[in-house]
Amino acid sequence: MKIKKQTTLLIIFSILFSFGCNQKTVKNEVNIDKKVDSVLKLMTLEEKIGQLSLFTSDMDQTGAFIRKEYQEDIKKGRVGAIFNAYGAAYTRKLQEMAMNTRMKIPLLFGYDVIHGHRTIFPVPLAEAASWDLAAIELSARVAATEAAAEGLHWTFAPMCDIARDPRWGRVVEGAGEDTYLGSLIAQARVKGFQGNDLAATNTVAACVKHFAAYGAAQAGRDYHSVDMSERMLREVYLPPYQAAIDAGAVTVMTSFNDLNGIPATANRFLMTDILRNEWNFKGFVVTDYTSIMELMFHGVAADTAQASELSILAGVDMDMQSGFYNQELENLVKTGKVTESAIDEAVKRILRVKFQLGLFENPYKYCNEELEKETLMKPEFLESARDVARKSIVLLKNENGILPINKQVKSIAVIGPFADNKRDLIGSWSAAGNWSKSVSLLEGIKAKLPEANVLYARGSNIADDSTQFFAEAVNIAKKADIVILALGEAAYMTGEAASRSSLDLPGVQMQLAQKIYETGKPIAVVLMNGRPLTINWLNEKVPAILETWFLGTQAGNAIADVLFGDYNPSGKLPITFPRAVGQIPIHYNMKNTGRPMDPNNKYSSKYLDISNEPLYPFGFGLSYTQFEYGELSLSKNEISENETLTVKISIKNTGKFKGKEVVQLYIRDLVASVSRPVKELKAFQKIELEAGESKMLEFKISTKELSFYKADMSFGYEKGEFEILIGGNSRDTKNVKFLLK
């Protein structure tokens, strides 16, 4: 009875504490709103419009500078925010200009802090391969801490675009192809950037991008059109954005694409109907770079005035770089095409974020040069980057246990254009990262094995047709006990404006691999890239392949940790690797079709010249150990709509190494009012087991996991038969069925 009484008291205390916190949050929001209103009442129309403009700082050989015309705009109160300006001293200088204006409204400083600021972490697609939400949140927390120490308040991340076409270069910036995993990662990044207190000096405001459906650009070509049903939009593409907003993100960026003919930057359905009215978003919306101007190229605006009118009325608050709001809004108000109250609402949303950041209280709180010196690239930050990098590596193949390499090996040949490469390791969108401070693969291996005979040959360049380095590479390979062959694509080949029509290794790298293979030496390929590649020959011939992506500042050390067994790889692919570009789009959760693939029936959904199957499926990744999956058991075979189903499965480490496994649960709705995917990820658990250890896992399934947009576009569940699939990837699963009655 005593225990029960104490438990009851704890519950009551918890409720009261939660109520108190909620009351405090509501009170703070009310106070901020009052402060925003008090500022707004004092502003002229010109000053209001100024808050809606975002301009860039620039960089040359002498360092950062701001254009003279932008300096004049700041001094006149015609700028609300600056991007690409960082450094405690430099941002203070610009902030002082704003503090000398009549209203003394502080500037907001933004920057593309995508996967680290000075300490560069793995690119986002690589981090997604870790399936480790705590590690991803930590990465964003370190990035925010360093960025804030250099005067930044705002990052243009996370990118929440679901991407199923690896030709699109910006797959590198997101979490891959899956809606559920992408939603969880979006939340983790927002929490990492913003923490629990946006006014703290080690947090930055997150910006959810690119709203919306930018990852579905036709033909994988950047900036291209998107055309899809509302069902596809709501089921697949919108949830990660909403998850990030639910996690507290205070800003959103429009996407470059049009959606069903309406460019996002002029799309009231997206920016007002969904974002504000459905999702109750209270923050502000910023365009991507010059995208208001681009409304004219889309063909929906005749001139700068109409482009500005369409954007502000759609619900776009801040104009990045085009300058059209400053140029046109005042006249649009005077002519009655835009109301001043519409301007006021946009200004309120921007001022509110500035108050949340504490900038009105102290405009220079992020301009502490001593804090800046103490914070950047701390040893603990570098160690965190190394740890996240290790977790992001995916073992694609390991025939005959060639990996891990015995540390007693006498001679190792490290060959390839990425063997002693530092510049590409930090990937695209590497912010203020200094590539010269990154650790190359060669350096990582030499540091790991200081007594070994480590041989090096360039082998080839990344992208040209020269074979002049082949002979040296072959000669080096013949002298070694094992070859580590470092291949991939350059960092500039991924990211914005980096679409590729071919996913093959560029240049003569495949020819180099074939030459090294002919030596007969055991080979482990280390891939460095920002997207899936078509590597059929490597998969067929080479005994070991590690997908290491672009791992950042500590790449070489992290890869060496995995190569030599100090870390057992546990990464799983967040995106499907196709066999050929002709299979694209290819993803694990496609529809069954009315004529599913049948190798014995010509008139079924398949290719004449290639398998339907990918080279590596979503969720795939090996370990140095092996995991055995037991049979699935259910708490019951039938459940009602108010019940929860418990699913159990035993996982055993049957190998010789301690290892981690990502146990993935998928669900298929067998009969529904609309055709459903063949499977959908609904849960996963990352576990660690000693050699020989077993663990019983439990998953809970309710109608939440079974809901979808039905034939009438209402969201909910339908009764009927479902299949549960659990495994170490989306292909190799144990299956069982149950009935929702």
Phi-psi group of 151: left, alpha or beta (phi > 0 → left; psi -120 to 50 → alpha; rest → beta): left
Encode pLDDT of 505-564 as tens digits: 999 999 999 999 999 999 999 999 999 999 999 999 999 999 999 999 999 999 999 999
Give Cα 664 distance to the centre of its chain.
Answer: 20
Using CA atoms, how far apart are residues 78 and 73, in angstroms rounded to an integer?
Answer: 5
DSSP H helix total and E strand total for the chain: 22, 29
Q: Which CATH class is domain 627-740?
A: mainly beta
Residue 39 scores a pLDDT above 80? yes
For residues 112 and 159, give the distance between their C-alpha atoms in angstroms, rounded to a whole number.
11
708-709 and 715-716 beta bridge pairing: antiparallel
Least confident of 8-22, 56-70, 245-259, 642-656: 8-22
What is the per-residue pLDDT across 40-99, written as a single tens digit (0 to 9) for each? 999 999 999 999 999 999 988 788 999 999 999 999 999 999 999 999 999 999 999 999
CA distances 363 to 93, 109, 205, 719, Å, are 11, 11, 15, 57
Joined tokens for residue 185: 């990662």
Asked if residues 545 and 598 have their Cβ atoms less than 8 Å apart, the reply is: no
State yes or no: pLDDT of 22 exceeds 60. no
Out of 2.20.25.240, 3.20.20.70, 3.40.50.720, 3.20.20.300, the CATH code matching 7-372 is 3.20.20.300
- Residues 588-617 have a mean pLDDT of 96
Helix, strand, coil share of the chain (percent; to 5): 35, 20, 45
Q: What is the DSSP letter of 534?
A: -
* pLDDT the model gives residue 14: 41
Strand partners, 652: 628, 694
pLDDT at 281 over 90: yes
522, two tokens: 């055991």
Residue listed under structure tokens 């290639």: 610
Lowest-confidence region among 63-67, 135-139, 724-728: 63-67
State residue 25's pLDDT score: 56
Residue 709's alpha-carbon distances to 229, 387, 594, in angstroms, are: 12, 40, 20
User: What does the pLDDT read at residue 30?
Assistant: 82
* pLDDT for residue 27: 67
Per-residue pLDDT band at 4 (split at 50, 70, 90): very low
Q: Are 444 and 557 in contact (CB under 8 A)?
A: yes
* Interhelix angle 324-334/304-314, nearest 10 degrees: 80
Q: Which of 288, 317, 387, 424 is catalytic?
A: 288
Instruction: Scan for tokens 């380095």, then name that residue.
Output: 469
pLDDT at 462 over 90: yes
SS3 of residue 577 by DSSP? strand
* Residue 233 Cα distances to 210, 213, 236, 464, 590, angstroms: 14, 7, 6, 40, 15
CB 247 within 8 A of CB 193: no
- Identity of the residue numbered 272: T
- CA dihedral angle for residue 130, residue 438, residue 141, residue 496, rounded to 10 degrees: -80
Give residue 727's identity as a one-letter amino acid code. G
390-583 has CATH 3.40.50.1700 classification = yes
Q: What order of strands is seen across the sheet that includes strand 720-727?
A: 638-639, 733-740, 720-727, 659-669, 680-689
Residue 149 φ then ψ, to 5°: -65, -20
Residue 25 φ/ψ, nearest 5 degrees: -65, -45
Q: What is the pLDDT of residue 3?
A: 39
- pLDDT at 29 exceeding the cut of 90: no
| Percentage of the chain exceeding pLDDT 90 | 95
Give Dmax over CA atoms of the chain in angstroms. Answer: 83
669 is catalytic: no
Q: How far apart are CA 127 and CA 22, in angstroms?
A: 33
- Across the range 477-481, mean pLDDT stands at 98
Residue 17 above 80 pLDDT?
no
pLDDT in tens, 393-447: 999 999 999 999 999 999 999 999 999 999 999 999 998 999 999 999 999 999 9
Q: Cα angle at 386 between 428 and 727, to 5 degrees?
A: 90
Amino acid at 91: T
Q: Strand, helix or coil at 483?
A: strand
How far is residue 365's CA from residue 70's CA, in Å, rounded to a whole number?
23
The length of the chain is 741
Q: What percent of the chain has pLDDT over 70?
A: 96
Q: Mapping DSSP to helix (H, G, I), strand (E, B) and coil, where does residue 525 land?
A: strand
Report which of residues 17 and 670 the model is more confident about: 670
Nearest to 621 by CA among 653, 589, 574: 574
Q: What is the pLDDT of residues 505-519, one digit of tens each?
A: 999 999 999 999 999
| pLDDT value for 23 | 55
On average, the pLDDT of the chain sits at 96
Record the tokens describing residue 166, joined without a space: 């690896």
Distance between CA atoms of residues 195 and 734, nearest Å: 39
Backbone φ and ψ of 187, nearest 5°? -65, -45
Tell me the three state secondary structure of residue 622. Answer: strand
Q: Among 114, 554, 550, 201, which Cα is nearest to 377's?
A: 554
**Distance between CA atoms of 8 and 100, rounded to whole angstroms?**
57
* Residues contacting 114, CB < 8 A, separation 6+: 123, 124, 155, 156, 157, 159, 173, 429, 430, 431
Domains of the chain, by residue range, sit at 7-372, 390-583, 627-740
Residue type, 643: E
